[in-house]
Amino acid sequence: MSTAPDTAATHRLWTFHGGLHLPDNKALSNGEPIAEAILPQRLVLPLQQHIGAPAKPLVEVGDKVFKGQIIAQADGFVSAPVHASSSGTVIAIDELPVPHPSGLSAPCIVIDTDGEERWCERQPIDNWSALDPSELRNLIRDAGIVGLGGAGFPSFIKLNPGARTAVDTLILNGAECEPYITCDDLLMRERPEEVVAGARIMRHALNARRVVIGIEDNKPEAYAALRGAVASLKRDDIELVQVPTLYPTGGEKQLIRILTGKEVPSQRLPVDIGVVCHNVATAASVHRAVEKGEPLIARIVTVTGRGIARPRNLEVLFGTPMQELVDQCGGTKPQLSRLVLGGPLMGITLPDVQLPIVKTTNCILALTPGEFGEHGPVRPCIRCGECARACPANLLPQQLYWHARAKDFDRAQDYNLFDCIECGCCAYVCPANLPLVQYYRFAKTEIWAQAREKRKADLARERHEFRSERQEREKAERAAKLAKKKADLAAKAPPGTATGPADDDAKKAAIQAAMERAKAKREAAGVAPKNTDELTADQQRQIAEAEARRAAKAQNDAAATPQPPVED
Amino acid sequence: MPGPVISSPHVHGPANVSRVMLRVLYALIPAVLAYIGYFGWGVLINVLIAAIVALGSEAAILLLRGRPVGDTLLDGSALVTAVLLGIALPPLSPWWLVAIGTGFAIIFAKQLYGGLGFNPFNPAMAGYVLLLVSFPVQMTSWSAPMGLRSEDLGLLQALFHSLSGTLPHGMGLDALTSATPLDAMKVQLGMAKTVSQISAGPIFGVLGGKGWEVTNGMILLGGLWLIWRRIISWHVPVAMLGSLALIATLFHLINGQHYAGPVFHLFSGAAMLGAFFIATDPVSGATSPRGQLVFGAGVGLLVYVIRVFGGYPDGVAFGVLLMNMAAPTIDYYTQPRVYGHDRS
């Protein structure tokens, strides 16, 4: 094996503001190799495991499906299809609880597995470099690949630089900065060639000049493994860089800053500065989709924390209930006090271990009381500024808190609320124990709700204004018509006649004429009574009476002055 | 097992408010000992009276406001205010002077604004200034430092004096008190003496006044420890002492016989106390690092102006309160550049 070009020594690194040195707790789970999770009897596949519109089901209850078969198609541009993660029978398409902070249910396809793991037909592509980037993107889209780092944004969109920009650098994010989580670490250790192969395909799709893989320096084994994989390729367009361990280095904006020295402008995308960032696990799944023809149906999940008997990493089919994973890791310990989906800094509390594993599930974390650190009583903010020192976006969290708490959302936005990445550094260091991130989420949600309300109100106002305008216009048109008619009549009338009575007479004559025309029309149409066969004498009498009343009413109506139609 | 849905993060660092306040109190221990050593037991009695009044008045107001009493008292902030006032007041103060100052600090300057975190002014300095403008005679009668007192009060005698206002038979207040170095400098410069003539007097030491240079030194030590433990950042003390030293140097160079040098200013009065323990109060000060530099520099400047050109011998309390008023504005104009935003 030839020696790899050691780019770490030469690659210049930049820094971002703040960040935290945290006990990483990764040794809990990274000591054992990746194991395959047991095939469950039942798979629950949510139709939305990504950012964007939920997929539309393509199967019906009772259908037999193969492993890897598409069972729900992407609905719209920002969406992703869902594939059967094993062979079996669709037994339900229903609303079921899904892993989401809201704790709400969402549509899922439920498959009873048959245990045979029969694959659908796969179409591996060896010669992908001959494919057009757009064809590659279609392949990746059809494989249901979304960002596996946690966000779940459809990857094919992020692999499309668009016409406006050229991509200079593709960054593969192997930082995995959240404590406890080791699924990317194990992937890079055990399957480095898949990551590198995926990186090359992604680079081709983006036509990027170079690839930089960033790994935190607390993962020397992963770094060494990737170094070997890169070296065996003998290419110099893939750089491997060790970055200092500092939470949240794995944040997209932070990693871009560290590796390129550039900052993603506020409210813009990395591609605007010629950088695209993907997770290493996403790269591996791109390799599998293209070179093996396997859609995204499984991922590596870390099951860890001191509340788990045997912490480790499992390769899990999507739809597997979390309970099965916990059981496979020896179950939970009695001192378990909180289950978290994701990492300790950004994860969500798990309301239910029966929830299915989805594309964005990277970790199940079982925390015991000793692992929380010191949660004292919540006290008032003393403006100590520790949060500002820790903030990786260089915000003033204490000011954001103040304005969010006062529901002064305009001021919160003046202090750049929407540049907050909710990494949790501020709340971690806060001596007053304030749930700062929760305040920011609250403020953001309120602002979004207000924006929605405003859009609605704007639309209603526009509609109202348009309608008033139209009414005004029609009124004016009618007035003009009437005036013209008057003028015409006046011109016809013999000179010297008083206009008043003549006008009245003309009106009456017009009404009379109109009524006669209407009557003639009614008679000509010959309104035939319906269902008049087999009527009893009594019914016929009632009809006759009704006819008489109607005739009388018509005469009365005709006598009254006609009114302009009342328009809605 | 599933518990309530709790927002991330699910882990928390070791910092908490009580620990911060406790560290501040630890850092004040050498200073309090030095004050007692040089200025007598009265200092300890001041601190104790201030502590009782601070905790009592805070508890009373919390009861009236229907807030948890025990939990809030445990945050330690009232005790910090009490110790700061206790060592800032003249050691031979009557008990009511200490009680009025502390009560005003806790009730009016702190709790009526909403308690810890909501007070725009530093409570200890608000209490101090109230006393300074209301009881100027009592407030300017300082103990003579150790070695310059012809007589001394024991602990019980000092307590008795504080409570009853009477000294042991045959002992006069004059034997126990003397002008402070800052006071002496101000008054005697007004009598057309030169700095070197004044500094030759018995109450002056090597760096500043006798006793004062040691207490200021002890406060400096405690302050450095706070910076080392990351309880306070270096910005405010460096900016305040820096601006005070800079402007003092400037004037001293212009006319060395009329303006005392920077070392005298740094080691006299409440310069160090202000720089490390009062201007660093996060609640009433500026929060951004650049803002803290501006805030500290402003305090230093005001201290010098008041000491040299104003009507009071020391200016720390006024300087801090004036800059407290400016803190929100300073914070507004010194916001850091947020990631992804242009430098502007």
Main-chain dihedrals φ then ψ at residue A3, nearest 5 degrees: -75, 140
CA pair distance A239, A203, nearest whole angstrom = 13
Question: Is residue B324 a contact partner of residue B124, using CB atoms and an 8 Å limit?
Answer: no
CA pair distance B328, B94, nearest whole angstrom = 37
CA pair distance A534, A540, nearest whole angstrom = 10
Which of A377, A385, A416 lies closest to B287 in CB terms? A385
The count of CB pairs under 8 A between chains A and B is 169
All residues at 6 or more sequence positions from B133 whose CB lies less than 8 Å from its CB, including other chains: none
Instruction: Classify the complex by whether its ipTM is higher than 0.85, answering yes or no.
Output: yes
Could you tell me if B70 lies within 8 Å of chain A, comparing CB atoms? no
pLDDT, mean of each 10-residue run, chain B (344 residues): 70 90 96 94 95 96 92 92 95 94 97 93 96 91 81 85 84 81 88 87 84 93 96 95 97 92 92 96 92 96 95 92 96 92 74
Tell me how close the Cα of A79 comes to any Cα of chain B, in angstroms: 27
Reported as a single tens digit per residue, the pLDDT across A457-483 is 999 999 999 999 999 999 999 999 999
DSSP for B212-251 reads: HHHHHHHHHHHHHHHHHTTSS-SHHHHHHHHHHHHHHHHH
* E strand or H helix at A375: none
Reported as a single tens digit per residue, the pLDDT across A97-113 is 998 887 788 999 999 99
Mean pLDDT of chain A: 88
User: What pLDDT is recorded for position A497?
Assistant: 52
User: What pLDDT is recorded for position A553?
Assistant: 72
Question: Is residue A228 a contact partner of residue A156, using CB atoms and an 8 Å limit?
Answer: no
Tell me how close the Cα of A267 comes to any Cα of chain B, in angstroms: 8
pLDDT band at A565; cut points 50, 70, 90: very low
Residue spans per domain, chain B = 16-179, 181-330
Minimum mean pLDDT range among A212-226, A372-386, A407-421, B73-87: A372-386
CB atoms within 10 A of CB B207: 15
Q: What CA dihedral angle connects A476, A479, A484 and A485, to 10 degrees? A: 150
Do the Cβ atoms of A382 and B116 come within 8 Å? yes
The label of the residue with tokens 């924390």 reads A305
CA pair distance B80, B111, nearest whole angstrom = 15
User: What pLDDT is recorded for position B245?
Assistant: 97
The label of the residue with tokens 């994973």 reads A325
pLDDT band at A528; cut points 50, 70, 90: low
Q: Which residues pair with A107 in a beta bridge?
A: A95
CA pair distance B49, B158, nearest whole angstrom = 12
All residues at 6 or more sequence positions from A350 whose CB lies less than 8 Å from its CB, including other chains: A99, A322, A339, A340, A341, A364, B2
CA pair distance A457, A277, nearest whole angstrom = 38
Contacts 24+ apart (CB under 8 A), A481-488: none
User: What pLDDT is recorded for position A544?
Assistant: 78
Question: Is residue A167 a contact partner of residue A275, using CB atoms and an 8 Å limit?
Answer: yes
Provide the token pair at A443.
């403020």
CA B340 to the chain's CA centroid = 40
Reported as a single tens digit per residue, the pLDDT across A247-265 is 999 999 999 999 999 999 9
Do the Cβ atoms of A375 and B8 come within 8 Å? no
| Closest to B59 in 3D by CA, of B44, B70, B51 | B70
Cα distances from B323 to residues A154, A508, B295, in angstroms, run: 52, 87, 6
The label of the residue with tokens 């016809």 reads A492
| Closest to B277 in 3D by CA, of B160, B173, B124 | B124
User: What pLDDT is recorded for position A166?
Assistant: 86
CA pair distance A510, A561, nearest whole angstrom = 12
User: What pLDDT is recorded for position A9?
Assistant: 47
CA pair distance B336, B344, nearest whole angstrom = 10
Tell me how close the Cα of B340 comes to any Cα of chain A, in angstroms: 4
All residues at 6 or more sequence positions from A44 whose CB lies less than 8 Å from its CB, including other chains: A96, A108, A109, A110, A319, A321, A356
Q: Is the pLDDT reported for residue A3 higher than 50?
A: no
Reported as a single tens digit per residue, the pLDDT across A135-156 is 999 999 999 999 998 889 999 9
Q: Is the pLDDT reported for residue A329 higher than 50?
A: yes
Contacts of A369 in chain B (CB under 8 A): none
pLDDT band at A564; cut points 50, 70, 90: very low
Contacts of A371 in chain B (CB under 8 A): 11
Could you tell me if B339 lies within 8 Å of chain A, comparing CB atoms? yes
The label of the residue with tokens 């000992």 reads B33
CA pair distance A545, A555, nearest whole angstrom = 16
> End-to-end CA distance of chain B, in Å?
51
Which of A377, A395, A422 lies closest to B338 in CB terms? A395
Dihedral sign computed on CA atoms, order B165, B109, B27, B142: negative
Tell me how close the Cα of A292 comes to any Cα of chain B, in angstroms: 38
Minimum mean pLDDT range among A398-407, A418-427, A491-500, B117-126: A491-500
All residues at 6 or more sequence positions from A556 whose CB lies less than 8 Å from its CB, including other chains: none
Task: Assign A77 to helix, strand or coil.
Answer: coil
User: What pLDDT is recorded for position A561?
Assistant: 44
Which structural domains are found in chain A, ordered by start?
Answer: 7-118+139-364 (3.40.50.11540), 377-494 (no CATH)
pLDDT above 70 covers what percent of chain A?
91
CA pair distance A402, B331, nearest whole angstrom = 13
Mean pLDDT to the nearest integer, A308-326: 95
Q: Is A293 left (phi over 0), alpha (psi -120 to 50) or beta?
A: left
Which residue of chain B comes nearest to A421, CA vs CA?
Answer: B339
Q: Which residues pair with A215 in a beta bridge?
A: A174, A242
Could you tell me if B75 lies within 8 Å of chain A, comparing CB atoms? yes
Provide the token pair at B233.
């950042």
Could you tell me if A261 lies within 8 Å of chain B, comparing CB atoms? no
CA pair distance B208, B217, nearest whole angstrom = 10
Contacts of A383 in chain B (CB under 8 A): 117, 282-283, 285, 287
Provide the token pair at A241.
């860089």
The reported pTM is 0.83
Q: Is the pLDDT reported for residue A325 higher than 90?
A: yes
All residues at 6 or more sequence positions from B204 whose CB lies less than 8 Å from its CB, including other chains: B181, B184, B198, B210
Q: Which of residues 103-122 of B touch A (CB under 8 A)?
A: 114-118
CA pair distance B115, A467, nearest whole angstrom = 55
User: What pLDDT is recorded for position B184?
Assistant: 87
Could you tell me if B233 lies within 8 Å of chain A, comparing CB atoms? yes
Do the Cβ atoms of B283 and A382 come within 8 Å? yes
Helix axes of B212-228 and B17-39: crossing angle, nearest 10 degrees: 160
Main-chain dihedrals φ then ψ at residue B224, nearest 5 degrees: -65, -35
Reported as a single tens digit per residue, the pLDDT across A115-126 is 999 999 999 998
Radius of gyration for chain A, computed over Cα atoms and rounded to the nearest angstrom = 35
Strands (E), A175-273: 210-216, 238-243
User: What pLDDT is recorded for position A6?
Assistant: 46
Could you tell me if B166 lies within 8 Å of chain A, comparing CB atoms? no
Reported as a single tens digit per residue, the pLDDT across A157-205 is 999 887 767 899 999 999 999 999 999 999 999 999 999 999 999 999 9
User: What pLDDT is recorded for position A531?
Assistant: 60
Return the ∠ at Cα A197 (arms to A196 and A198), rounded to 5°. Answer: 90
Task: Assign B24 to helix, strand or coil.
Answer: helix
Which residue of chain A comes nearest to B232, CA vs CA?
Answer: A384
pLDDT above 90 covers what percent of chain A?
71
